[in-house]
Amino acid sequence: MKKPNDVILHSVTKAAVVIILTFSIDLFFAGHHDPGGGFIGGLGFASALTLLLLAFDIEWVRENIPIDFKVVTASGVLIAVLTGLGSVVFDAPFLSQTFDYFNLPIFGKTELATAVIFDFGVALAVIGTAVTIILSIAEDR
Amino acid sequence: MNNVVLLPIIIPLLTGMIMIIFRKNIRFQRAFSIFAILATGAVSVFLMAQIRAKGIQTLQLGGWQAPFGISMVADMFSALLLLTTSVVSFCCLLFAFRSIGKEREASYFYPMVLFLITGVNGSFLTGDLFNLYVCFEVMLISSYVLITLGGTKKQLRESIKYVLTNIVSSFLFLVAIAYLYAMTGTLNLAHLSVRIAEAGQDGLMTTVAILFLIVFSMKAALFLFFWLPGSYSAPPTAIAALFAGLLTKVGIYALFRMFTLVFYHEPQITHLIIGVLGALTMLLGAIGAIAYWDIKKILTYNVMVGVGFIMAGLASFTPVAMTGSIYYLIHDMIIKALIFLIGGTMIHLTGTSKLKEISGLIGTHPYLGWLFFIAALSLSGIPPLSGFLGKVYITQGTFETGYYWLGAIGLITSLMVLFSIMKIFMNGFWGETYLSEEMEKGTTKGLMFPIGLLTVATIVLGVGAEGIIEYVNLATESLMNPKLYIEAVFRGNVTP
């Protein structure tokens, strides 16, 4: 197959990926009180990776992001379930959550919640699953 | 609140996920999967003790009260099935160690088995209709992977049918859930039971009940069994045995739960239909089992006969029949896995599943032959083995309700089952020994232990019925009194 010379796509992708990644991280943290959260944040993250896959080829992405995304999925689910199990240690029902306010050096008064860790697990699971699906379809020639 | 209720779901899920991370290390995966199953079994024994002492155990996830949150409920019926699931999957895993092959092991075989068990256990424990759907899907998706794993031509052909039928029935399941939610405004099983008891089960509700009956019949192979013979004979023995022992039984569990807890007001319609379907399943299954001369086909048709017979107990809907059904369900899970393992071993040894090409295996494999003989007697319900008590109780129950035809069909098909299974014994094990040990395609090394273990289980279940019947009676009590279940879920809170 002739290698197409798509300079514009490459340049736009490089800029757009940064924006998409920032936005999906913002979506992830917004999810605690506003629309957003681990699922949609993870999907945004996966869409950035998909854009990279489309603009460059799979080998290039593999070399630069050398992660097995199935492992990402598994660790995501592990983090989510273990966060749920954490409440069992405190003799609360599975999946109970708690939060408190802390004074952190830069952020000032910040709300820290256990639900965010759970959400992080969800995000990882979504990223892993989405990218695994796309990669396995892409490889299937 | 009792967090132990959740452990049978969490343990296989967590171990499966950890195994995905350590994909390359097969020895670790083997040891870890056995550990997970043993831990799940131990937890279910612990749960049984708790339920016996303190009644039905519940857990409201995240502390959100029913019916707003997600409820997990473990009554004795669930706990007994959990324990049986652990026993069956333990033996199938041991069998798989020696027979499944390196390639499948490296392609996530063990994690998938554990996810399958996660789904099965989840279906047994959930107290919420939508979560029942989710757990069904977890179980089905793992089974899709397991049935195609290896990718032989036959597997792929059968898996297309299997996946399609299951997708259609899952779709109908969702539609039925939507109808029920539109009519009652809740999906919590206990809450549904309360609401339907208050409003009465009118014609429309009964129609929805029949839609659920169709859905679960498809999963349980009750009359809608067209997908079963093909898809259960395609995968390797260990997987087929796991499917035969567990998958259809989850559908049966769902039927029992729905038609004792939620739709129990019109037994003359719904339960009669279940009875008719059960009778047809028994007859067609038994005819199939007699007609075929292929070991795998005979065994899969026997799975259907078992399903029909268990449903005869639900159709009668008396305490005696329920006791029989629960007892027979436990027996059936063990015995179906057992005969699938033995049948698979015979095919493994001879390299063919055609009964006419096999002869005289007992000359070279006496233990296998006699274990099969015990299994055959147990399957057809000869005392003192485990099939007997269930058959007696179910038959007694059908006669009490006046469904003489149902009981009679049950007994006649038992004879047909005995004939079909003895056909395997007489043709496969008796006669002249063609194959010397050197000519065999495989060995029984390491395969005999799981088979022996399951045989011991069926003998213990039969001879030790006295000790088990107390637990079975507790299970019957919770099935026949929906009030117990409802009170356990709401714990004295106001039901909105």
The residues, any chain, with a CB within 8 Å of residue B272's CB and separated by 6 or more, are: B315
pLDDT band at B30 (very low <50, low <70, confident <90, very high): very high
Residue type present at position B236: P
End-to-end CA distance of chain B: 20
The arithmetic mean of pLDDT across residues B56-75, rounded, is: 89
Least Cα separation, residue B167 to chain A (angstroms): 20
Confidence (pLDDT) at A82: 92
Report the C-alpha gap between A91 and B149 in whole angstroms: 41
pLDDT band at A140 (very low <50, low <70, confident <90, very high): low
In a domain, B75, yes or no: no
Query: Least CA distance to B17: which residue of chain A?
Result: A74
Handedness of CA B55, B68, B202, B166 (dihedral sign): negative
In sequence order, what E strands does B123-211 have?
none
**Rounded mean pLDDT of chain A?**
87
Cβ distance of A93 and B59 shorter than 8 Å: yes
Burial class (CB in 10 A: 0-12, 13-18, 19+), A97: middle
Cβ distance of B63 and A88 shorter than 8 Å: no
Angstrom CA distances, B458 to B249, B377, B388, stand at 17, 11, 11
- Site from B4, B20, B58, B107 to mutate, A interface, most A CB atoms within 10 angstroms: B20
In a domain, B313, yes or no: yes
**Rounded mean pLDDT of chain B?**
91
Least confident of A89-103, B179-193, B264-278, B451-465: A89-103
Contacts of A96 in chain B (CB under 8 A): 62-63
Least confident of B150-154, B182-186, B415-419: B150-154
Confidence (pLDDT) at A112: 83
Q: Is A99 on the interface with B (CB under 8 A)?
A: no
Report the C-alpha gap between B194 and A40 in whole angstroms: 37
Contact B171, B218 (CB under 8 A): no
> What counts of helices (H) and strands (E) characterise chain B?
21, 2
Query: Least CA distance to B6: which residue of chain A?
Result: A94
Q: Is B24 on the interface with A (CB under 8 A)?
A: no
Cβ distance of B3 and A97 shorter than 8 Å: no
Confidence (pLDDT) at B92: 94
Q: Is the pLDDT of residue B283 over 90?
A: yes
The arithmetic mean of pLDDT across residues B222-232, rounded, is: 88
The pair of three-digit structure tokens given for residue B448, joined into one six-digit string:
């005999």
Q: Is the pLDDT of residue B244 over 80?
A: yes
Please name which of B55, B3, B52 lies closest in space to residue B483, comparing C-alpha atoms.
B55
- State the residue range of the domain holding B412: 266-482
Report the C-alpha gap between B224 and B233 in whole angstroms: 17
Report the C-alpha gap between B192 and B187 in whole angstroms: 6
Q: Is the pLDDT of residue B247 over 60?
A: yes
Residues 57 to 76 of B: which have CB under 8 A from any A CB? 59-63
Cβ distance of A71 and B1 shorter than 8 Å: no
Least Cα separation, residue A9 to chain B (angstroms): 35
3-state helix, strand, coil in chain B (%, to 5): 80, 5, 20
pLDDT greater at residue A111 or residue A51: A51
pLDDT 10s digits, B230-240: 888 889 999 99
Confidence (pLDDT) at B384: 82
Number of independent structural domains in chain B: 1
Confidence (pLDDT) at A2: 56
Q: Is A85 on the interface with B (CB under 8 A)?
A: yes
Contact A139, A90 (CB under 8 A): no
The arithmetic mean of pLDDT across residues A4-16, rounded, is: 86
pLDDT 10s digits, B66-122: 888 889 999 999 999 999 999 999 999 999 998 888 888 888 999 999 999 999 999
Q: Is the pLDDT of residue A20 over 90?
A: yes
In a domain, B476, yes or no: yes
Q: Is the pLDDT of residue B303 over 80?
A: yes
Cβ distance of B3 and A94 shorter than 8 Å: yes
Please name which of B89, B86, B140, B125 lies closest in space to residue B110, comparing C-alpha atoms.
B89
Q: Is the pLDDT of residue A85 over 80?
A: yes
Q: Is B25 on the interface with A (CB under 8 A)?
A: no
Q: Is the pLDDT of residue A23 over 90?
A: yes
pLDDT band at B23 (very low <50, low <70, confident <90, very high): confident
Q: Is the pLDDT of residue B151 over 90?
A: no
Length of chain B: 496
The pair of three-digit structure tokens given for residue A100, joined into one six-digit string:
């408190």
Q: Is the pLDDT of residue B37 over 80?
A: yes
Q: Is the pLDDT of residue A10 over 60?
A: yes
Domain ranges of chain A: 7-139
Q: Which residue in the set A71, A81, A96 is minimally distant from B10, CB to CB?
A: A81
Contacts of B60 in chain A (CB under 8 A): 93
In a domain, B171, yes or no: no
Please name which of B206, B208, B212 lies closest in space to residue B179, comparing C-alpha atoms.
B208
Q: Is A97 on the interface with B (CB under 8 A)?
A: yes
Residue A113 pairs in a beta bridge with A99
Q: Is the pLDDT of residue B314 over 90?
A: yes
pLDDT 10s digits, B383-406: 888 888 899 999 999 999 999 999
- Site from B2, B3, B9, B126 to mutate, A interface, most A CB atoms within 10 angstroms: B3
